[in-house]
Amino acid sequence: MTPEILRAIADSNQWWAIGPEMILGAAALALLVLEILLPKEHHRFIPTAAIVAQAVTLLGTLINFQTAWLGQETFAGMLRHTVYGQVARVFFLVSSLLVSFLATVCLPRTRMPRIEFYHLVMVVTAAMMLLAQSNNFVMLFVALETITIGFYILVSYFRDNPLSLEAGLKYLVMGALSSAILLFGIVLLYGAVGKVAVAGQTHTGLEFPILADFLRANPDNFVATVGTLLVLAGIAFKIGAFPFQIWIPDVYQGAPTPVTAFLAVSSKSAGIAVLLILVHGPLAALQPLLGPVLIAAAAATILFGNLAALTQRNAKRLMGLSGVSHAGYLLLGVAASLTVSWAIGAVWFYLTTYLLAAMAVFGVMAHLAGKDDADQELEGYDHLAKDSPLLAGVLAVGVGSLAGIPPLAGFVGKLLLFVAAFQARLYWLLAVAIVGVVISIYYYFGWIKTAWFETWRLPGAAESPGAHPPSTEPTLAGRLTLGLLALATVLLGFFQGPLGAWLQR
């Protein structure tokens, strides 16, 4: 190699641009090495090491939030660094930290290996962070598949439990199907654009800016339209939007509780992040097509999620189906963001409130779950307020925020989305969303009622068969984490100023 080539390589050194992802990936590999090197009695420190590594990465990302790469493309146009990409990085890191905390509660109950779980969570999180900054369909597809394949393993992690394996198989079939649909859509977009020469260099439709230019010039191209619809369908599978939500209840119920939380929060947010990138980047010229599709999907998703959740008696299925309706509210935000630009900030704000509230609820579920992780009937929450006031309080705050009760963060999140939809003149969709919120209050309050109020029984009748005290008493760190989540949910309902300003920058 000549010195010139070496100098060119040194000048184009962009590895610092993906520093957080690199640190996370290296730490994930280091965990596996630690497992081999450390003697067995010290293995219990490895989860702590994983959490510390993620906290350090989070701290570094926060300190370096205004990175020098903002607004630039790196790695020959593979990635594009934006403020929302930075927000997504912080979001996914916080989420993975909380998932790791849930894992420290749930995993010791089984005889499964533990280290690999944290390894997979960290690798999947790194892929999500890359996905939220992708600027090329190759990058997008590879990052998305890293996430999906990681989730196949995580969902079926309790491999001695047939329910977990069955959920894994269902997620596998549905995930692979959606990936194939997404890939075919990408191929059609690539084929429609063909060969583009810019400044003497050959470019293709796999690059987002080139595709955006092509669609601006030919918005009626048939192949590109079909490709766009297939790509949207593939992403709708990932976020669980109607009519691609059939896998959600079964997979959420069978998966280990930390993985259910990871699916509900991180996986859904990754889908929404990539949808935002696509509709505001390469597909921006197709607004006349995207608007009606997003609006119809949002309305159907909100209604289906809320109506299907009404009859659920299993806490995990309930969280899954109510999560479908939350995906619907987020789609409403995405549809509004086509015309109202601050709606992107509102979507991220809603995701933040959902992260806090859902993680609080899943934290309570993780402490209550018995030997069989899939068996979490709502009857099990009887007497919770008496057995453990802390858990019942956190549950009430979390569920209340999910329902959107006024002083809590979830209310402000919904309010911002609805105001955005109002400004975007989506009146019908807004009406559907409000009906959805009213329906959701019924099943959310049923859950709170089970935990807080005595159910009247015939004198002398047997106790409710499902009721049992928490199987794992929360540790000091657990109490602190759950308390902080609930506190943040309450505080964010009163003072959203700093975060709101931060999101709209």
CA distance 58 to 48: 15
Residue (69 or 190) nearer to another protein, CB = 190
At 365, give phi and psi (nearest 5°): -60, -40
Using rule CB under 8 A, residue 156 touches another protein: yes
Q: Does 195 bind another protein (CB under 8 A)?
A: yes
CB nearer to another protein: pick between 50 and 154: 154
Distances, alpha carbon 66 to alpha carbons 23, 63, 156, 501, in Å: 18, 8, 39, 15
The nearer residue to another protein, 152 or 342, going by C-beta atoms, is: 152
376: contact with another protein by CB under 8 A:
no
Tracing tokens 């959203």 back to the chain, one arrives at 496
Q: Give the residue among 290, 269, 304, 268 at the shortest CA–CA distance from 337.
A: 290
**What CA–CA distance (Å, rounded) separates 230 from 333?**
21
Tokens of 109: 């109950």
What single DSSP character describes residue 83?
A: H
Site membership for another protein, residue 218 (CB under 8 A): no
Nearer to another protein, 82 or 156 (CB): 156
Lay out the site mask for another protein across 161-190 (x = CB under 8 A, - = otherwise).
-xx-xxxxxx-xx--xx-xxx-xx--xx-x
Smallest distance, another protein to C-beta of residue 413, A: 29
Angle, alpha carbons 37-40-45 (nearest 5°): 80
Of 41 and 160, nearer to another protein (C-beta) is 160
Residue 222 and residue 206: Cα distance in Å, rounded?
17
User: How many chain residues bind another protein (CB under 8 A)?
Assistant: 47
Of the candidate residues 1, 202, 458, 461, the single one contacting another protein (CB under 8 A): 202
Compute the distance between CA of residue 406 and CA of residue 415 in angstroms, rounded to an integer. 10
324 makes contact with another protein (CB under 8 A): no
Measure the CA dihedral 263/265/268/274, to 10°: -120
Rounded least distance, CB 331 to another protein, Å: 24
Sole residue written with tokens 């894994």? 168
Select 254 or 410, whichever has its Cβ closest to another protein: 254
317 binds another protein (CB under 8 A): yes
In angstroms, give the least distance from the CB of 162 to another protein: 4
* Binding flag, residue 127, another protein (CB under 8 A): no
Q: Tell me if 113 contacts another protein by CB under 8 A.
A: no
Give the dihedral of Cα atoms 73, 75, 78, 80; nearest 10 deg. -20
Residues within window 220-249 making contact with another protein, judged by CB under 8 A: 249
Q: % helix / strand / coil in the chain, to the nearest 5?
A: 75, 5, 20
Least gap, CB of 170 to another protein (angstroms): 8
Residues that bind another protein (CB under 8 A): 137-138, 141-142, 145, 149, 152-153, 156, 159-160, 162-163, 165-170, 172-173, 176-177, 179-181, 183-184, 187-188, 190-191, 194-195, 202, 204, 206, 249-250, 253-254, 311-314, 317, 374
